[in-house]
Structures are given as structure tokens and as C-alpha cells.
């Protein structure tokens, strides 16, 4: 069977799996129920945890001391900041951008940052509520206008040390001052944004930013811990009353769990204009397309390389052992059941440098690591 046919078959199989997972809530005897035994069905961003209280990371630390020490330093822990604590805005008293007749400014006074859009004849100003993103690649701002949450039309980019158009927002001159503000968020969109950038913000169908804990901490991934803490203190963990992602298989973990925020295959395929480098920052989707890596093996899941409780490693050498968990280090090495993938004919180190190259996304003024693992040939376009 040719490689192209093999890949088509593998994609078809995984798409069928994805369809089953996506339709899981419908494959029940009653509307709104989920399949018995489907561990993933017990967790979704923004799902209704009504009746179960959040306890905060300090309560988790009573038993999970190691994770509690290291997780606060992770990028996920800094996925958002309240405006009062936002490091970027603290160190930039005034930011500016101009788009046609529209002038954008973010000004800082004390612990308050104000987002203003003016066209020379009038202006609209609103206090920034949250800063989404660490400010490593970029940072976008959330504010409320006329009772609706908005995503700012401009974002901060460290490469510019200033503002530019937020990715996926039109660069054309807006038709009105209201349009120039940014993207108004529906309740569903706002729930999704807050659920992926904060902890404990969503209760049922209500969005409660006033109770949000900035950043992604324990209960964002494991669910509210009130019942878990109670049974743990009672030393009765027969049913731990908490979601544990380690119960998931590799496909569920990467495409459904991590992909819920970092964008898996199904989500990206439904987005218009997201081909090639435009989806370079959607790591689960890119992994899904990696030729020869379409296997349901935890060594190919997101957490094989990235422990969500540990600081992100940026040195390529760290990842060599991850590649060599499957690949032979040379043609002289004997295959085993665990390690049977072929050796690279060029080198056995700095694997990611060649096979997961950095690709610039011009709209974000930043180079992202391409998680579409492949042999990269000079002049070859970025696969989509």
C-alpha cells in the first residue's frame, strides 16, 4: 500500500474517531446525557459545574505539593492577568496605534488601564478588565462596552513594543467608531475565551469574571475540587470526585482535551482561512497531520513533551530524548517493541531544530515551533 493511501486511511480512521467523540453527547438514551464510561464527557471547558465549589490552588497544595510549587511558573498559569496586575501594561504607561482615521491608545493610571478609540470627532473609552496572553508572542485585552464583552481590535506585540491589529481581526479601516472597538463576544464565545484563560469563571450559563482566578490553575483542567478535597481529607478516595486527564488515551488527550483550547483537528478544519502558516500556533492540529505519527500512543500526546505542571523548556536538546523514545538513534541499533521507528540519517540530536522548524506568523510578529513533524525541504511551502 502506498504512503498516500496509508495516510488517507489513517486520517479517515482518526476522523471517524473524532466524529464519535464529537457526537458523544448525542449517543445516549436521553437528551443532554453523556455515554457511561466516557471519561472525557466529565470535563469540558465552560461546562456546568453547578453545585460543586472551587477551592483554589492552596487547597490542592495540601496533597500535591510538588505540582503546586512548579505550576505557577508555567505559561498556562500566566494565560491571563487582571488589568491591575498586568505586567505589560504596568511597564507601558501609554501604547498607540493608528488605522486610517482611528487612533487607539491604552493609558495607565495607577492600577487602572483604559482602552480608547477615537476618530477625531468622538471617542469611546472603557477600562480593561483582563489581559489575555503572557505577552511573549502577544497580548490581547478584554473590556466591556454597553454590557457586552469585547476582544480588543489591537493587541500588544513585544517585537514591536507597541500595538498592532489583533490576529483574525480585519486590517481594513472600520466603518464606524463602534466597529473600530473590536470583536463583540457572544455569551458562548466569552465563556470559551474565559474558560481557556482563567479559572473558576463559568457557572452554568452565567459568566462571572468577578470571581475568576487569572491564569489556568489546577481546577481549570481538573474541575472544581470541593468534593475531591472532602473525600481526600476523609481518606475515602474510592471515588476521587475529580477529573484526571491521565485516564484519557493519547488521541483524546491531545485532540479533545488539550485541543479544546489549543485547537484540535476538528476545530481547525471548521475555521475559514486557517490553512498553512495561519494555523501554525494550533499545536494539536499540527501534530494530528504529522506523517508517520498518527498513532494512539501516549509518546505522541502533548504531555509526552510538555508537562503542564512544569515550566516550558525551550532548548531543543531537551526534546531529543522524547524523539528517541520511539526512534532508533542509529541504523546499528536493534529495533525493539518499544523503539522501532527508523533512525534519522543525519543526526541523533537537535531533532526538533530540523523536523519541527520555527515558522514566522507575520500577523503576530513571532516565530512559532511547527508541530507538524516532518522532513523539511528547502523552499517547500508550510503544509496546511
Q: What is the pLDDT along the chain (384 residues), one digit of tens a residue?
A: 443 433 433 333 333 333 323 333 222 222 222 333 345 555 555 455 667 889 999 999 999 999 999 999 999 999 999 999 999 999 999 999 999 999 999 999 999 999 999 999 999 999 999 999 999 999 999 999 999 999 999 999 999 999 999 999 999 999 999 999 999 999 989 988 999 999 987 665 678 888 889 999 999 999 899 999 999 999 999 999 998 998 899 999 999 899 999 999 988 988 766 777 889 999 999 999 888 787 889 899 999 999 999 999 988 889 999 999 999 999 999 999 999 999 999 999 999 999 999 999 999 999 999 999 999 988 889 988
Q: How far is CA 211 from CA 160, 289, 380, in A?
A: 33, 39, 48
pTM, 2 dp: 0.85
Cα distance between residue 302 and residue 47, in whole Å: 22
Q: Do the beta carbons of residue 360 and residue 366 sit within 8 Å?
A: yes
Count Cα atoms within 13 angstroms, Cβ side, for 266: 20
Cα distance between residue 61 and residue 55, in whole Å: 11
What sign has the CA pseudo-torsion 270, 273, 277, 280?
A: negative
How close are the terminal C-alpha atoms of the chain, in Å? 24
Cα distance between residue 152 and residue 130, in whole Å: 11
Cα distance between residue 313 and residue 348, in whole Å: 19
Q: Do the beta carbons of residue 257 and residue 248 sit within 8 Å?
A: yes
Cα distance between residue 237 and residue 245, in whole Å: 17
C-alpha cell at 94: 501609554
- Rounded to whole angstroms, the maximal C-alpha distance in the chain is 75
Output the CA angle 215-219-225, nearest 5 degrees: 150
Cα distance between residue 283 and residue 249, in whole Å: 18
Cα distance between residue 2 and residue 276, in whole Å: 24
pLDDT of residue 278: 86
**DSSP string for residues in 158-188:** TTTTEEEEPTTS--SPPSSHHHHHEEEPPHH
Give the chain's radius of gyration (CA, Å): 23
- Strand partners of residue 115: 106, 126
Cα distance between residue 311 and residue 69, in whole Å: 11
Cα distance between residue 316 and residue 286, in whole Å: 18
Cα distance between residue 172 and residue 63, in whole Å: 53
Amino acid at each position: 500500500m502506498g504512503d498516500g493511501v496509508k495516510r488517507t486511511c489513517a486520517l479517515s480512521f482518526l476522523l471517524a474517531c473524532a466524529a464519535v467523540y464529537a457526537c458523544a453527547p448525542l449517543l445516549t438514551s436521553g437528551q443532554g446525557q453523556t455515554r457511561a464510561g466516557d471519561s472525557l464527557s466529565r470535563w469540558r471547558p465552560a461546562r456546568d459545574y453547578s453545585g460543586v465549589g472551587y477551592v483554589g490552588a492552596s487547597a490542592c497544595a495540601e496533597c500535591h505539593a510538588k505540582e503546586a510549587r512548579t505550576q505557577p511558573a508555567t505559561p498556562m498559569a500566566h494565560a491571563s492577568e487582571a488589568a491591575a496586575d498586568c505586567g505589560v501594561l504596568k511597564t507601558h504607561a501609554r501604547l498607540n496605534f493608528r488605522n486610517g482615521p482611528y487612533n487607539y491608545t491604552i493609558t495607565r493610571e495607577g492600577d487602572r488601564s483604559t482602552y480608547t478609540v477615537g476618530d477625531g470627532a468622538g471617542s469611546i473609552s472603557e477600562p480593561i478588565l483582563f489581559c489575555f496572553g503572557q505577552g511573549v508572542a502577544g497580548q490581547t485585552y478584554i473590556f466591556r462596552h454597553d454590557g457586552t464583552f469585547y476582544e480588543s481590535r489591537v493587541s500588544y506585540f513585544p517585537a514591536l513594543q507597541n500595538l498592532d491589529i489583533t490576529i483574525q481581526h480585519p486590517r481594513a479601516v472600520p466603518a464606524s467608531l463602534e466597529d473600530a472597538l473590536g470583536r463583540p463576544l457572544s455569551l458562548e464565545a466569552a465563556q470559551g475565551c474565559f474558560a481557556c484563560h482563567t479559572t473558576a469563571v463559568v457557572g452554568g450559563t452565567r459568566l462571572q469574571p468577578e470571581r475568576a482566578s487569572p491564569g489556568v490553575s489546577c481546577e481549570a483542567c481538573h474541575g472544581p475540587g470541593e468534593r475531591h478535597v472532602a473525600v481526600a481529607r476523609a481518606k475515602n478516595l474510592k471515588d476521587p470526585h475529580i477529573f484526571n486527564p491521565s485516564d484519557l488515551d493519547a488521541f483524546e488527550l491531545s485532540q479533545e482535551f488539550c485541543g479544546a483550547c489549543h485547537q484540535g483537528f476538528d476545530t481547525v478544519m471548521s475555521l475559514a482561512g486557517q490553512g498553512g502558516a495561519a494555523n501554525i500556533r494550533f499545536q494539536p492540529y499540527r501534530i494530528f497531520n504529522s506523517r508517520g505519527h498518527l498513532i494512539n500512543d501516549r509518546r505522541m500526546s502533548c504531555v509526552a513533551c510538555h508537562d503542564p505542571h512544569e515550566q516550558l523548556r525551550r532548548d531543543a536538546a531537551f526534546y531529543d530524548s522524547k524523539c528517541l523514545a520511539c526512534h532508533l538513534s542509529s541504523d546499528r541499533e536493534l529495533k525493539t517493541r518499544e523503539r522501532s521507528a527508523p533512525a534519522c540519517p543525519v543526526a541523533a540530536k537537535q531533532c526538533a531544530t530540523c523536523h519541527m522548524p520555527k515558522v514566522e506568523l507575520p500577523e503576530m510578529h513571532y516565530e512559532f515551533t511547527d508541530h507538524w513533524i516532518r522532513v523539511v525541504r528547502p523552499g517547500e511551502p508550510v503544509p496546511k
